Amino acid sequence: MSAQAAVGVDLGGTNLKVALVDGKGKILGQRTLAVEASGGPRRAVADACDAIDRLLAEQSLTCGDLVGVGIGAPGPISYREARIIHAANLPGWQDVDLCTPVSKRLGTQVAFDNDGNAAAYGEYWAGAGRGTDGMVMLTLGTGVGAGVILDGQILHGHFDNAGELGHMIVVPDGLPCACGQAGCLEQYASASAVARRVIAAVEAGEACVLSTQVGGRSAVDARRVAEAARGGDALCLRIWDEACLYLAVACINIQHAYNPECIVVGGGMSEAGAFLIDRVLEHSRRHRWCLHDDFPSVKLASLGYHAGVVGAAGLAWTRFGEAK
């Protein structure tokens, strides 16, 4: 009997997402669980496997109907050894093997990769990048996640950490980053950075419509900044436009480094749609080279919140089975 589904697991610092996915990338069922950090990896594995059992039962399937399980985990990771080296947002998670206990519990094969790579693979396999031979994904959220896929393969690099594009330096000696560098892309073009820069400017005395419309710092987010910028607020428009400029610089660097067919943009900032993409393209046209027309298309991600679990399941389908 041929496999009916794969399981995708997307492990985050707050939530653990689990989904049952068919060979075309369609989600058959899903669960989102809170990560009990104090329970450590053992608790996370147990919770994930319990959720998988329930999802299978709902579809009248068993573990024998699975092609495998794919796990996307926060890094840095060792892809070759299938281990989390150090999950920054999960205290105590160092040198963690999730694959062996999941495989033993479910009796199935397990694929493992960085969560940014898994999300990128989701868009490549079943989303906005479907049908391309190469794409790069940028996820603009708390930071800037990324994944690079060339000739259908995820780029891992010699040290298993290729594609950390949120940490390309766009402003030498710029804003300090939690990674230890300064001037990283994610300090200027992530959703949290956009909000943080507006807050800092308001606190420094600059006029802004958000300073009177919201009641506190926590209410300022990238969505509100984009709305205020659309409405003509000078401060929000300036910071939004600067973020788009830095993204354009990143896209030009991606063009020269990888030459992909497309760049897919996801995460919270992507909800601004054309207000983001059009400005990024406008800046890129002014700054990229004129020797050859090889700039990739830049498009919005289509899987949204589900990219990680779909991509993780897609890894299992690709490595262990044949997608329908």
Q: Write out the two tokens for 27.
A: 């989600």
User: Phi/psi of residue 148, each to 5°?
Assistant: -120, 125
Q: How far is 316 from 95, CA to CA, in rounded Å? A: 22
**Residues 178 and 196: beta-carbon distance below 8 Å:** no
DSSP category for residue 13: S
Q: Write out the two tokens for 277.
A: 């993409």
Q: 10, 4, 157: which is closest to 98 by C-alpha?
A: 10
Q: 291, 309, 296: which is closest to 259 by C-alpha?
A: 296
Active site amino acids: 115
**Residues 55 and 30: beta-carbon distance below 8 Å:** yes
Beta bridge partners of 10: 17, 72
